[in-house]
Chains A and B, each alone.
Chain A
Amino acid sequence: MMTKTPALEIDELAVRYGAKQVVDGLSMTVRSGELVAVVGESGCGKTSTALAAVGLVKPAAGTVRVAGADLVQARGHSRREILRSIQLICQDPYEALDPRCTVGEVVAEPLLVHRVGGGAPARRALVIEALARAGIPNAETYVDRYPHELSGGQLQRVAIAAAIVLHPLVLIADEPVSMLDVSLRAGVLRLFADLRDAGLAILMITHDLVTAAHYADRVAVMYAGRLVEEGSPEAVLRSPTHPYTRALLAAVPNPDRSRDVARPILPGEPPDLLDLPSGCRFRPRCPLAQESCARTDPALETLTADRGADAHRVACIRAFEPGHAPPGDVPLTRAGSSGEATIAKDGSRPD
C-alpha cells in the first residue's frame, strides 16, 4: 500500500496570519524513501508550510495527509496517531533542547507524550537505539549528559534522535544545518540521506540551493507563498526554467566567477503579501515579464512529457511559449573553472 499512498501529501495548502496569506495553494508530495528540498528566500512561506505539515499552524484551507490520513480534519486520538508519524526538526539545536534536561530526557519525551515504550528501562533502550540511529557513537554514554556538554553537531543529532525515536514515516527538517559550522554540516546531511535510504520521507526546508542539490531527490522552489518550479535537482539546476530559479542560481557565490563580469543582481524585493501584483507574483522583478503576465496568474504545469510525480513543473506562462530560451542556458560554471579543489592528496577522508 505504501507504494500507492505517499507518506506525505500536501494539497492546496493555504496558511494565513491575519490578512496575510503566506502560503497560497501549495501542493506537494513526499514518498517514503524520498528527500524533497523546499528552497526559497526568507518570507516565502517555506517555514509556514513546515509548521502546517506538523500541525503547529492551522491551515486556512487545504489538506495535509500522512499515509493517507488527513491531519487537518482529524481530532483527538486519531490526530495524535497522525502526529506521531510526522516529526519536526528545528533550525537551532541550541534553542530546541531544554538545557535542564539530559539527552536521555530530551529523546524520551516523545515516548512519554505518546505513551510508548513501557517502563523506564525499556524507554532507555529505545532512547539509546534512537541516538545510535542518529549517528551518535557510544550512545549509552550520552544519555545522562546535558546539552551544554555537546557540540552543535551532536546537539542536532540529539534533536534528530528525539524526532526518530517514535519511528515516524515523515521528517520535516527546517534549515537543519544552517546553524552548524561548515565542517560539521556534511555529517548531519549524510545522516538525513541515510534516514531517507532507510525508508523515511523527508521534507527539508532550506535557503541553500547548493546544499539541496547535493542531497535531495527533488527540489521545489517557492516564491511569495507559491511553488514556482519543481523537479529533480538535475532538471531544476541544469535546466532552471522559472526566471526566479534562474536568478537564485545566478546569485550563488562562485569563486570562479570572472571579475570582469558584473555580478547578476535581481532588482527589487519580494512582493507585499497584502498588496500582491496582478497576474504573476514575480512579474515586477522578472526580466521576461510582458503584458500578458499581468493578466494570467500562472499555474504549475508540467514541462516534459513525463507527467508523473517526478515531472519537471514550472509556473510561468513564458516557459511554454515557442522560442522560449532553451533550458540549460544558464552556465553553472562560469569562466575560468578548472575543476574541484584537491582533497588530501593521499585520498584519505576523515569520515
Chain B
Amino acid sequence: MTAPCLEVRGLNVRLRSGGRDLHLVRDVSFTVQSGERFGLIGESGCGKTTTLMALMGLLSDRASVAGDVLVDGVDILGDGERSVRAHRWRDIAVVFQSAMNALNPVQTVGRQIAEAAGRMVGESELPVKRRVSDVLELVGLRADVAGRYPHELSGGMRQRVAIAMAVVCQPRVLLADEPTTALDVIVQAQVLTALERACAELGAALVLVSHDMGVIGEVCDRAAVMYAGEVVETAEIDTLYHDPAHPYTQLLIAASPSLAHRDRELVSIAGTPPAAGGAVPGCGFVARCPRHFDPCASSAPHFWPVGSGMQRARCHLYDSASKVRP
C-alpha cells in the first residue's frame, strides 16, 4: 500500500507559559489519504488550531513540538524550522479563518497569488498569469478578479482567493481552519465547494477544522473529535453522526441544531472544559460526562476500537469490549 498523503504520528505540543508547562496537544495521530477529506471537530481551546499550526510549523519558539508529520512518506518536521520551510506551501498549505487578515490590502489579488506561485520549486511550463487565472477559475472566480484589491471583494470571494493562494503551488495536503465560520450559509456553500474542487483537482488530502458538526458532516469522509488536547473519537462520518461512541461526541451532536430534526430539544453540555494544557489524572471529560463511572476520574482511558469498523473512542465504556487488548 502506498504511503498516505498525510500521516501524523504522536504529535505533542507543549508550551512554556508563565513558568508552567502546558501540554496543549496530546499524542494526536491520524492519517489522510490522497483525495480524502478529514475533519477535526472540537470547541474553542480543544487544540485543533494548535494541531494545524504545528503541522505548518507556525507555532512560536516557546512551543515545543514532538512527533512525526509525514507528507507522502517524507517527515516534514524533521530537524525544525528550516525543514518545515522547505515544505510549507509547496507540500502542505493552509487556509485561515479570516481571509481579510490573510490578504495584503494594498496589492491586487492576482499579484498576491502570483507571488505565492513563486514559491513553487522548479519551472512551471505555464506562465504565471495563466496559472493565476486557472487557480481562480478552480475556486469559482472569474479571471478578472485578479485585477481587484481585497477590499473590493465580498467575504466569500476573499476566502476563495485565500484558497487559490493556498493551492497555487499544488500542495499534497490542504489544511483549512474554520474557513467558513464568519460566513453565512450561501457563501459557506460556495467556499466549501471551492475547497472540495481544489482538493479533488489536485488529489490533495484535505484537513478541515471546524466546530460545526454540520459542515464537517457534509464535507468530510472521516473525522476526529478533539477534547482537551486529545483525539477522543475517530470514525467514518456516517458512523460518527449516527452512532457516535464517545459521550462527548454524543452530546456535541445533540447540541447541534438540525434542520431535519428541529423538533428535538437541543442539549447544552454542563460545565466547561478543563483549563488548556493542565494535567488530568483520568479522562479529561469526566467532570462533564453524564456516563462517567468508577475508573474515569483516576485512570486515563485507552483509545479503544469500537465495533468492527474504523471507529475508536478514548473512553472506559469500551474497556470491557476490548479485553483482548493489553
State the A residues within 8 Å of B (CB).
40-42, 151, 153, 181-190, 207-211, 213-214, 233, 237, 247-249, 251-257, 262-266, 269, 332-333, 337-344, 346, 348-351
Contact = CB atoms under 8 A, between A and B. Distances in A.
B155 to A, nearest CB: 7
Contacts of A213: 257, 259, 262
B253 A341 contact: yes
B267 A181 contact: no
Contacts of B121: none
5 closest residue pairs by CB, A with B: A255-B217, A187-B268, A253-B214, A186-B266, A183-B269
A256 B242 CA distance: 10
B285 to A, nearest CB: 11
Contacts of B188: 251, 253
Nearest to B253: A341
9 contacts: A40-B184, A41-B186, A182-B212, A183-B268, A186-B267, A209-B185, A255-B237, A341-B241, A343-B251
Contacts of B202: none
B185 A251 contact: yes
A349 B289 CA distance: 10
Interface in B167-223: 183-190, 192-193, 211-219
Contacts, number: 161
Contact of B218 (A183, A189, A233, A255): A255
Contacts of B253: 341
Interface of B: 43-44, 154-157, 183-190, 192-193, 211-219, 237-238, 241-244, 247, 250-262, 264, 266-272, 288, 290-291
B214 A254 contact: yes
B218 A253 contact: yes
Contacts of A209: 185, 259
A185 B255 contact: yes
Contacts of A207: 184-185
A254 B213 CA distance: 9
Nearest to A207: B184
Given A341-B244, A348-B290, A214 B268 contact: no
A40 B217 CA distance: 23
Contacts of B212: 182, 253
B190 A265 contact: yes
A187 B265 CA distance: 11
Contacts of A40: 184
B229 to A, nearest CB: 16
A248 B216 CA distance: 18
B82 to A, nearest CB: 37
Contacts of A248: 185-186
A168 B34 CA distance: 57
Contacts of A190: 266, 268
Contacts of B186: 41, 247-248, 251, 266
A263 B193 CA distance: 7
A252 B259 contact: yes
A183 B251 contact: yes
A141 to B, nearest CB: 16
Nearest to A212: B257
A208 B185 CA distance: 8
A216 to B, nearest CB: 10
Contacts of B264: 340
A210 B241 contact: no
B242 A257 contact: no
A183 B217 contact: no
B255 A342 contact: no
A249 B262 contact: no
B257 A208 contact: yes
Given A233-B262, A350-B288, A182 B256 contact: yes
A151 B272 contact: yes
A142 to B, nearest CB: 15
A209 B184 CA distance: 10
B144 to A, nearest CB: 15
Contact of A340 (B211, B215, B258): B258
A197 to B, nearest CB: 14
B289 to A, nearest CB: 8
A190 B268 CA distance: 9
Given A265-B190, A266-B186, A332 B260 contact: yes
Contacts of A153: 268, 272
Contacts of B211: 181-182
Nearest to B185: A251
B214 A252 contact: yes
Given A190-B268, A253-B214, A341-B254, A41 B187 contact: yes
A215 B264 CA distance: 11
A253 B288 CA distance: 28
A339 B267 contact: no
Nearest to B187: A41
Contacts of A184: 268-269
Nearest to A247: B186
B267 A255 contact: no
Contacts of A265: 189-190, 193
B252 A183 contact: yes
